A and B are shown apart, each in its own frame.
Chain A
Amino acid sequence: MKFSILVSEGPYTHQSSDTAYQFAKAVLAKGHEIFRIFFYHDGVNNATRLTTPPQDDRNIINRWSKLAEENNLDLVVCVAAAQRRGIVDDGEMKRNGKDATNLAPGFRISGLGQLIEAGIQSDRLVVFGD
C-alpha cells in the first residue's frame, strides 16, 4: 500500500515528528511504500541542518536525512511555510536575497501542491501534529 505522511510540528517541542519518524519506519518495515513525507506549519523546522542537539539526545534532522537516503524517500518542505520560518535552500537564497542556506540533505523545498498530490496518489495520508 502507498502511504504519505504530513508532519505539522517542529522537532523537540512536540512529539509529533518523533511519532511520524517511528511510524514511517514501521510503514517501510511492513513492506509498504512511502510516496512522500510533507512538512508543513512548524514542521518545516525538521529540515534545518543547523540543529545541534546535545550529544546524548537523538538528532531528529539527521535521522530524517538518513531515513530518506536509505529508502530513497521524498521529503518535501512547503515553500510558503519555509519562507515564513527561515528554511532556505540555494534557490530560495537567491530568489529572496538571503545570505545563507540551511536545508538539510534529503529534503527539498516545493509548493503545497505536493501535499495535495500526495493525497491524490497515496492510499493513505496520515497527519502528525499538535
Chain B
Amino acid sequence: MLHIINKSPYDRPALDSVLATGEGAILLIEDGVYAAVKGGAEENKIKGAMGKFKFYALTVDLEARGIADRVMDGITAVDYAGFVDLVADNKTCQSWL
C-alpha cells in the first residue's frame, strides 16, 4: 500500500508509525519532504528501511522548500502525475495526517 506523509519528521513521528507497519511505498509531500534531506536526522532510519519500503518525494514540495538538490540517494522525486500513478498502482493509500 501507499503511505502519504505530509509532516516534518521534526514535528510528528508519522514515519516511525509507517515503518512499523511492515512494507510498501512511502510518498513524502508538503512538510513531509524534509525527511528526504541528506544528512538529516531521519537518514539512517530511511536508508535502513529501503529494503522494505520504496521512498518517493513530491518534486514541487522539495523545490518550494529549497531542498531539491539535497535529497538522499534512493528517494525518487515524482511530479503530480507520478503521485497519481502511485495512488493508482497501490490498492489502498493511507494519509498519515
Render A104-130 as a binary contact track against B, CB cut-off 8 A, 1 for contact: 000000000000000000001011111
Residue of A nearest to B82 (CB): A26
B interface: dominant SS: helix
- The answer to whether A126 touches B93 (Cβ under 8 A) is yes
**Chain B residues numbered 55-97 whose CB sits less than 8 Å from any CB in chain A:** 60, 79-81, 83-85, 87-88, 93, 95, 97
Provide the residues of chain A in CB contact with B83, threshold 8 Å. Answer: 23, 26
A interface: dominant SS: mixed
Provide the residues of chain A in CB contact with B85, threshold 8 Å. Answer: 30
Question: Size range of the interface on B?
Answer: 10 to 19
Q: State how many angstroms separate the Cβ of B63 from the closest Cβ of chain A.
A: 13
Cα–Cα, bound, A27→B87 (Å): 10
Cα–Cα, bound, A1→B80 (Å): 16
- The answer to whether B87 touches A3 (Cβ under 8 A) is yes
B29 within 8 A of A: yes
- The answer to whether A26 touches B95 (Cβ under 8 A) is no
Provide the residues of chain B in CB contact with A130, threshold 8 Å. Answer: 6, 97
- Partner pick for A15 among B30, B84, B88, CB 8 A cutoff: B30
- Partner pick for B81 among A3, A16, A30, A127, CB 8 A cutoff: A30
Chain A residues in the interface with B (C-beta under 8 A): 1, 3, 8, 15-16, 19, 22-23, 25-27, 29-30, 32, 124, 126-130
